[in-house]
Structure 1
Amino acid sequence: MRKFFLALAATLAFAPLAAHSDGPVLQESSFWAQEVNAGSLPHVQDRIPSEPLVVDLEAKGRSFGRQGGTLRTLISRTKDVRQMVVYGYARLVGYQPDYTLAPDILAAVDVEEGRKFTLHLRPGHRWSDGMPFTSDDFRYWWENVANDPDITPSGPPDFMIVDNRLGKVTFPDEHTVVFEWQIPNPNFLPLLAQASPPFIYRPAHYLSQFHKKFADPDALAEKIKAARVKSWAALHNKRDNMYKFDNPALPTLQPWINTSDKDSSRKLFVRNPYFHRIDSRGVQLPYIDVVQMTVVGGGLIAAKANAGEVDLQARGLDFPDVAILKKGEADGGKYRTLLWANGAASQIAIYPNLNFADPVWREVMRDVRFRRALSLGIDRRMINRALYFGLASEGGMSALSQSALYNDDNTHAWSMMNLAHANALLDDMGLTDRTPAGLRKLPDGRPMEFVIETAGERSE
């Protein structure tokens, strides 16, 4: 199935070439010109790494952007500011359009035998507050967060454990970090590239003021009291929200910085002056100066989009909104209504529990003929026409079509409604007894019926 979004402006592109120090002549951002001229911010050549990530848009058939401007978007909950971490998509390694992985924040990654990963940082890379980003930030996470029993009582995260053995992390120099396991760990790099990645680094210079190992005890006690938390660990965790993105004081490597007042319904994010990407003309990215997120009721998002109060809207809209938005577009609305590919393999999927405690039901559900009969009993064509205006792709749960693992036969296997075939499969299982109402019976004589429960968060 496909999701629907309203889109009016292009934001940050990610189409990197190999980074190099002999790059294009750097251009200063007009957004930071006043600070640079006043001497409160270094010139751009002193703000970005000596080996920035050069993004060649023309090589990907895309045009260069223009620096400046504000992008307006809406969110329905304050905690949705975390979307900025997803939209910005600055990762140690990141996915390319063809689903291959390439260095992003990192300059390079060396992989040996699939079990040893040497991460090379970009010399001169800085946090959003101008402090150096080095291997000490990885060390701080490993030694003082992941392995501190007060902050992480459960111990190091699961991804650090392979075959019941904990991986090892070493720090040869300020620009090198090594993650090593005894056997291959093929999930490590994909994990770093996902929408909500494990942040295996922390701004040590900022968070250490909340850690009992480094902070002055009296000053730390005052901070705990002011934050109204019970312990230094609770305070540290409260200030350490790399993904939630709700602490404006927490330095970041993302393209935009949170500068919001926590009590305001309007959240503002300004461009990171130390962001590590430039385009092939020497313009520091991102192009957009400010992202403005306004918190509104979920039911108002479509109406406000229709009224032209947003520039890009990727949440709070769905297929039921298509008709009114397309009408507004046709009536002279200065926007375009687009269908956007969904990252999920299917809008809806029903998974029978193969480990259900009821032994009779469990035996039935584990029979592939039963699950195939269920699939053959679903009228996907009707669902498509009723819910998705016939614009969805019909099929079973499978890999995304862009994936190297995609197989068209798998997508369409057992996915065309065929009640006769479905009944024949159930008959073949021996489930031929029926109630007076015609409902099939389980082998023990109970009516063969079950309830599908949903959280009800989506109209489907």
Structure 2
Amino acid sequence: MITRRLTLSLLAGAAAAPFLAPAARANAGLGEEPEPLASAVAKGDLPPMAERVPKTPRVIDLASMNRKPGAYGGTARMIIGSQKDIRFMTINGYARLIGYTQKLEFQADILERYTVEEARIYTFTLREGHRWSDGHPLTSEDFRYTWEDVILNEDLRKGGVQRELLAEGNPPRFEVVDERTVRYSWDAPNPDFLPAIAAASPVTLLLPAHYMKQFHKKYVSEDDLKAKMKAARVKKWADLHIKMSRQYRPENPDLPTLDPWRNTTALPAEQYIFDRNPYFHRVDETGRQLPYIDRFVLNISSPGIIAAKAGAGEADLQASGIDFVDYAFLKDAETRYPVKVKLWKRTLGSRVALLPNLNCSDPVWQKLLRDVRMRRALSLAINRHEINMAAFYGLGKESADTILPDSPLFKPSYSAAWSAFDPAAANRLLDELGLTERDGEGMRLLPDGRVARIVVETPGEGTLDTDVLELITDHWAKVGIPLFIKTSQREVFRNRAMGGDIIMAMWLGLDNGVPTADMNPGELAPSADSQLQWPVWGMHHLSLGQFGHAPELPEAQRLVDLLKQWKLTTTTPERAAIWQQMLAIYTDQVFSIGIVNGTLQPLLHSARMHNVPEEGLYGFEPTCYLGIYMTDTFWFGDSVS
């Protein structure tokens, strides 16, 4: 089980001690140059390593991770399903101001240190001598530019300051303390701040000002800006700035980065090449600059054949685009190609989940689905064991849609809530609801005389959804509820949910099944319009009351109130108590119907690739896919791993 230490000293009124990166090594103790860079250094085209890495680089103690120092070199191939999936390099590379350890504790990464006072005053100190990938110094000016000229600019941020940067609706005060130190402070606590920085898609606090100013109307002439807009084929300067500044999906090869690898390929392309960042700030305990691997090559392929290509030896590191249904095929590839396949645990609260739309526009179904007895009955009528055996070979855990035992917040009662197979109890609850009339085939009738048929919609992006739904169709038919499966394109699917046209959806369960108390519990409450069980209520919260409307269901409103309380907390114990209340309500009320969690994700890698963990937690949040396992420490050797 992942354990969580109380790493933040956040007692009210007390200043926290600085959070330092792991012990730093002086530049004089650095190892040899990476081979691909040595010739450039010899020619004078690149400074020596001692001038490229910070004075106090982040030292990765591989021995403490049961890994070995590696060798430089090699090209790793990865297959992606579309151009937008170059974002996997940003996620898997996982360079953050502050990131998570493998125990999901916060640690300084790009920052040398940081302090937190009362969960509302955050002081960040950069590493001396840290540089962007183009060699330009990283300084507090980059933070200032991003805050004053980007975040606060109405043309660039029409929606205003990001929610993660608001405390009780107010943005922070930003201060430049000195060339290497900045401070963000609020009048009220903002516990969202650190998780937002450590996230897979982090809040943007830092852009390379020296590069981005050439696209900002404040710093260049109108004629110069117009010429750049014409070249980029955009009509507004704001669109130009946004296009050239994308970090999460690094489409601009000229944009300086702090990631371990930098994109060198302009759009559009069928292949993207990411070369090592010669100024990357991490070294191993022997003084070798990371990353070990020289280059990643990302080849675009049809999503439906990624598994086939990976199994044919066309990938050196692959987790995206493959699933457990491909495991037997991929494992067999080990006999034909120099690859290895490992199984990591997915962090989802449920691999697939049924989401009753409490905002559906059909008044009869809306009333029924808002009655907890209906949601509980549908859950009790599902034979999860049969689904687990048929779809997951019995390797998953039959469970409600909730957190995993790997989370320090886990309680068995959350997993067990209304998830036992009990068709007799389901029938009793349906009878209590008044659904006692049946048609000639034994199917229950709604109060208005219609057959109580539930149309479950899916985005149709794989066979797993329909395979599971076909089994549930049989289960629900036995309690008199017919099920009809409807597939649609993802965007259409989401729009129909927001419009109330969907009665019930099948989608993923909770995205973060391994939370700690210091992570935002917003998934458990109506907080976003992307939540398919209450999109209208979620929009109301997301828009600060401008759109949608507040929950009519008391239990849902209670979750919103608890989420607001969490945002005012200053200590981890306070947050843990709120998490427990929200988990108890969410699972008891069956706001989503989980099926199986703890399912396995194949990870294929070259047999010559070392330092790839045998086991891991795989998910977008909070582990950032491979991110917290530090792909910059993976390396190619002459022997198999």
Q: TM-score, normalised by structure 2?
A: 0.66
Q: What secondary structure does 1:452 align onto?
A: strand
| TM-superposition CA deviations, 1:17-58 (whole Å, max 9, x none) | 233548843332112001101111111111111111110010
Structure 2 CA distance for partners of 1:99 and 1:23, relative to 1, 3 Å: farther
User: Structure 1 pair 363/60, CA: closer, same or farther in 2 (3 Å)?
Assistant: same
SS in 2 for 1:94: strand
What is the deviation of 1:430?
A: 4.0
| CA deviations over 1:73-97 (Å, ceiling 9, x no partner) | 1112122111100110001111111
Match of 2:451 in 1: 447
SS across alignment from 2:78 = strand
Aligned to 1:293, what secondary structure does the other structure show?
strand
Matched with 1:6 is: none
Moved more, 296-305 or 441-450: 441-450
1:131 is aligned to 2:136:
yes
Residue 107 of structure 2 aligns to a residue whose secondary structure is strand
- 2:316 counterpart of 1:311: yes
Pair 1:302 & 2:307 matched: yes
1:209: Cα distance to partner? 0.4
What SS does the aligned partner of 1:453 have? strand
Matched residue SS, 1:351 = strand
Equivalent residue number for residue 147 of structure 2: 142
In structure 2, stretches of 5+ residues that fail to align are 1-20, 465-641
Matched, 1:248 2:253: yes
Asked if 2 retains the 8 angstrom alpha-carbon contact of 1:54 and 1:280, the reply is: yes
Please report how far the alpha carbon of residue 297 of structure 1 lies from its aligned counterpart in structure 2 after TM superposition: 2.1
Contact 1:23 1:282 (8 Å CA) reproduced: no
- State the shift of 1:153 in Å: 1.9
2:83 is aligned with 1:87: no
Shift of 1:444: 4.9
Long gaps (5+) in structure 1:
1-15
Counterpart for residue 33 of structure 1:
38
- Letter paired with 2:230: K
Q: Secondary structure at the match of 2:262?
A: strand
1:289 maps to 2:291? no
Matched, 1:47 2:48: no
Q: Aligned partners of 1:242, 1:184: CA distance in 2, in Å? A: 28
1:195 aligns with 2:210: no
Q: Which runs of 4+ in 1 moved over 6 A?
A: none
How far the C-alpha of 1:440 sits from its partner, in A, is: 2.5
For 1:108 and 1:279, the matched residues in 2 are separated by 19
What CA deviation, in whole Å up to 9, does each residue of 1:340-362 have, x standing for no partner?
A: 22132221112222344445433
* CA offsets 1:364-387 (integer angstroms, 9 cap, x no match): 323322212111112222222332
In the other structure, the counterpart of 1:325 is 330
- Write the mapping of 1:56-455 to structure 2, written as runs, cut at 5 A: 56-329=61-334, 331-455=335-459
d(CA) in 1 for partners of 2:50, 2:391: 52
Q: Residues 22 and 309 of structure 1: is their aligned pair in 2 closer, same or farther, counting only changes over 3 Å?
A: closer
Given residue 353 of structure 1, which amino acid in structure 2 is its aligned partner?
N
Contact 1:48 1:125 in 2 (8 A): yes
Q: Which amino acid aligns with 1:317?
A: I
Q: Could you tell me which amino acid in structure 2 is paired with residue 205 of structure 1?
A: H
Checking the alignment, whether the CA contact within 8 Å between 1:375 and 1:414 is kept in structure 2 is yes
CA contact (8 A) 1:268 1:291 kept: yes
Q: For residues 262 and 378 of structure 1, what CA distance do their matches in structure 2 show? A: 47
1:163-198 deviation line (CA, Å, top 9, x unaligned): 222222221111111111111111110111111111
RMSD (Å), alpha carbons: 1.9
Question: Which residue pairs with 1:457 in the alignment?
Answer: 461
Residue deviations 1:285-326 (CA, integer Å, cap 9, x gap): 111111111112223322222221211111111233223222
Is contact 2:216-2:237 (8 Å) kept? yes
* Structure 1 Cα separation of the partners of residues 151 and 268 of structure 2: 31
The change in CA–CA distance for 1:366 and 1:358 in structure 2 (over 3 A counts) is same
Q: % of aligned pairs identical?
A: 46
Report deviation, 1:68.
1.1
Instruction: Say if 2:229 and 2:237, in contact at 8 Å, map to a contact too.
Output: yes
| Cα distance change, pair 393–333 in 1 and its aligned pair in 2 (3 A) | farther
Aligned-pair CA distance for 1:445: 4.6
Distance 2:28 2:323 in 1: 43
Secondary structure at the aligned position of 1:27 is classed as coil
Contact 1:377 1:419 in 2 (8 A): yes
Query: Matched residues in 2 for 1:21 and 1:374: separation?
Result: 62
Whole-Å Cα distance in 2 between the matches of residues 119 and 354 of structure 1? 43
Query: 2:448, 2:23 → 1: CA distance?
Result: 66
Contact 1:98 1:402 in 2 (8 A): no
Cα contact 1:19–1:107 (8 A) shared by 2: no
Question: How far apart, CA to CA, are the structure 1 residues paired with 2:61 and 2:188?
Answer: 37
Deviation at 1:443, TM superposition (A): 4.4
CA distance 1:226–1:118, change in 2 (3 Å): same
Contact 1:93 1:105 in 2 (8 A): yes
Q: Go from structure 1 to structure 2 and tell me whether the alpha carbon gap of 1:459 and 1:354 turns closer, same or farther (over 3 Å shift).
A: same
Match of 2:502 in 1: none
Hey, what's the Cα distance between the residues in 1 that align with 2:311 and 2:403?
34
Question: What is aligned with 2:494?
Answer: none
Give distance in 1, aligned partners of 2:371 and 2:268. Answer: 55
Q: Is the 8 A contact 1:319 1:387 kept in 2?
A: no
Q: Secondary structure at the match of 2:377?
A: helix
For the residues of structure 2 that align with 1:130 and 1:305, how far apart are their CA atoms?
A: 36
Residues 244-265 of structure 1 deviation map (CA, whole Å, 9 limit, x = unaligned): 1111000000000111243432
- Report the alpha carbon displacement of residue 113 of structure 1 after superposing the two structures with TM: 0.6
Equivalence for 1:11: none
**One-letter amino acid matched to 1:338:** K
Residue number in structure 2 paired with 1:9: none
Partner deviation per Cα, 1:373-429 (whole Å, 9 max, x = no partner): 111112222222332233222211111322111122211222222211211222334
Q: Partners in 2 of 1:23 and 1:441 — Cα distance?
A: 79
Distance in structure 1 (CA, Å) of the matches to 2:324 and 2:277: 35
Counterparts of 1:171 and 1:268 in 2: how far apart (Å)?
36
Q: Give me the whole-angstrom Cα distance separating, in 1, the residues matched to 2:118 and 2:51.
A: 37
Q: Partners of 1:117 and 1:128 in 2: how far apart?
A: 26
Preserved contact between residue 381 and residue 394 of structure 1 (Cα < 8 Å): yes
Does the C-alpha gap of structure 1 residues 310 and 438 become closer, same or farther in structure 2, counting only changes over 3 Å?
Answer: same
Question: Relative to 1, partners in 2 of residues 1:168 and 1:422: Cα closer, same or farther, differing over 3 Å?
Answer: same
Amino acid at match of 2:259: Q
